[in-house]
Amino acid sequence: MASSSPHRRRLLLPLLIAVAAAALWGATLAGASAVTCKAWLVQSIPTDMPHLRRVPGVLSTGDVLQWLSGNATRSLDILAQYWQLLAQPNNPKSGDYGFSDSDMKRFGADEGRRVYKALENAADRKIKIRQGLDLAAGRPNVQNVTLLFDDWWGSGVVHAKVWISDKKDVYIGSANNDWKSLTQVKELGIYFSDCPQIAKTVEVYFQNLWTLSTLNSTTYTKEAWDKQWQVSRKVPCWSHFLQPKDRCRSPIPPSVDIPYIDGYPALADPEMIDVSFETPGYKKSTQEHHLSYLSFSPPEMTFGKFQADEQGWVDTIKSVKSGGVVRMNTMDWLGQSEFPTQTVYWSSLSSAISEVVFSKNATVRLLVAYWTHFIPNTDKYLKSLLYSNTLCASSSYNHCGGKVEIKYYMVPGYNETGPALSQPGAAAATGNRYPGFTRVNHGKYAVSDARANIGTSNLIWDYFYTTAGVSFGTYSPAIVAQLQDVFDADWHSPYTVPVQPLEASA
């Protein structure tokens, strides 16, 4: 989740050699003549939200992470921004500080302990593990690595949250490897079982990041005048933001090789994954054959014919049918950059939304988190997006009938988070009811009436150009319908508040 924490400056790239043995629900693979890719949506729902309608067939994040690590025998690769699976109520520097054992039990902190224990058991089984837990202490079979995005892009972090087990079972979603992400933060992801095509592609991205951590960034970076965003910034020397004569050969093949234009062109025919999905969590287990895709950020980390992550989001918005509905969910929304020294104006998603409102008479519903660490000028950007409704009705020359609707998602207790006690010395009660960096809707996804996109990035420029992120998208009607249901349960809950439009000028 976005914060100024030092954790945001590190990649903890774990690689656990692991396996998920049998298919879920006790079915065995023994003697099976063909393996079918199975997919489930995955959620974390914070405690104390009794009025949120539960969507049937959606798995728990904690359960999925335990299955991935607890059944490990061969390989488990984990992309992580940071780790805190064990609560720290006795650590004065932690947002958990000062809460009692009964408080932690009520918060569901034991869920993180169970995931940690499953990983610890994997280490005890002498599985070779590369990851960022303290399991590495005294264990020659456990290693970790750190990748500083600052050194390569001038800002950014590894923000992707991905688990890959046995090169066939995968989790992609918004949940950090943190106990709070299991029971105190609302998360959304997708879990695949027996999906080697998907795992293989994500594995290449994982390996590219791992390779990057072994290279000297000084040798492989340059300053580029970025014509697309009108700033000078640090980029890897194989970046297409550099002129061809100034580029180096990429040390992380197979990288994209396309004719130079300003920035990265949208791929006219991005790589699609032709997978037959079974969706046991959606009503009944139905097998469907529909195209899916993976997208990645930053653009310099794309490979083969796989698209940049921004394109996956934009194309999902534009996939809406005439008169249809696009549903979008994010923690942060900002029409600019957030962390780089030079500010970048970013209108890619805003423009795509306005375009389908005008051209397709579409309704776009956007759900944005409102919480303790809300970015103040977000409200102004959201109100400017709502102005599309005024423009839509402003001209006698068009037949625009679409609209934008925006709500804030306020998880109960969002404004009562932080340590229970002040720093040692005073040790006074703070009045906070929940640990720090909790009580927030943290999921990142978009779903039209035709296509779903489930990602790891907040909707801010940095997350697409200087930060590691992954999205999975699909035209599977079952996944599309169930994700719509998850969104609608949030949208119509009592925990949302409409964003008010700009006042009309006199």
pLDDT-based confidence at residue 124 (cuts at 50, 70, 90): confident
Distance CA 86, CA 82 (A): 12
The predicted structure's pLDDT at residue 387: 95
Residue pLDDT, tens place only, 270-286: 889 988 889 999 976 66
Backbone phi, then psi, for 173, in 5-degree steps?
Answer: 180, -165
Fold entry, domain 6-25+34-217+227-498: Endonuclease; Chain A (3.30.870)
Could you tell me what percent of the chain has a pLDDT over 90? 71
Nearest alpha carbon to residue 487 among 318, 320, 313, 326: 326
* 30 or 298, higher pLDDT: 298
Residue pLDDT, tens place only, 469-504: 999 999 999 999 999 999 999 999 999 999 999 875
pLDDT of residue 19 exceeding 50: no
Q: Which two tokens stand for residue 117?
A: 């224990």
Q: Is 427 left (phi over 0), alpha (psi -120 to 50) or beta?
A: left
Distance CA 145, CA 464 (A): 23
pLDDT-based confidence at residue 134 (cuts at 50, 70, 90): low
Amino acid symbol at 58: V
Residue pLDDT, tens place only, 169-212: 999 999 999 999 999 999 999 999 999 999 999 999 999 998 99
So where are the chain's domains? 6-25+34-217+227-498
Instruction: Kindly report the number of other CB atoms within 10 A of residue 244's CB atom.
Output: 8
pLDDT of residue 347 exceeding 80: yes
Helical H segments across 376-501, by residue range:
378-392, 461-465, 477-491
- Among the ranges given (139-153, 171-185, 298-312, 430-444), the one the predictor scored with the smallest mean pLDDT: 139-153
The predicted structure's pLDDT at residue 71: 79
* Continuous segment of H or E residues that includes residue 37: strand 37-44
- Among the ranges given (142-146, 220-224, 355-359), the one the predictor scored with the smallest mean pLDDT: 142-146
Backbone phi, then psi, for 30, in 5-degree steps?
Answer: -60, 130
Block residue for tokens 């035209």:
475
Residue 458: is it exposed, middle or buried by C-beta count within 10 angstroms (0-12/13-18/19+)? buried
> By the 8 A CB rule, do 234 and 465 touch?
no
Distance CA 328, CA 301 (A): 25
pLDDT of residue 1 exceeding 70: no
The predicted structure's pLDDT at residue 139: 78
pLDDT of residue 260 exceeding 70: no
Mean pLDDT, range 437-456, rounded to an integer:
98
- pTM of the entire predicted model: 0.91
Distance CA 175, CA 112 (A): 12
Q: Which two tokens stand for residue 268?
A: 């006219």
The predicted structure's pLDDT at residue 25: 31
> By the 8 A CB rule, do 161 and 81 touch?
yes
Block residue for tokens 């939304």:
353
Q: What is the DSSP string of 358-398?
A: HHS--EEEEEEE--TT--TTHHHHHHHHHHHHHHHTS-TT-
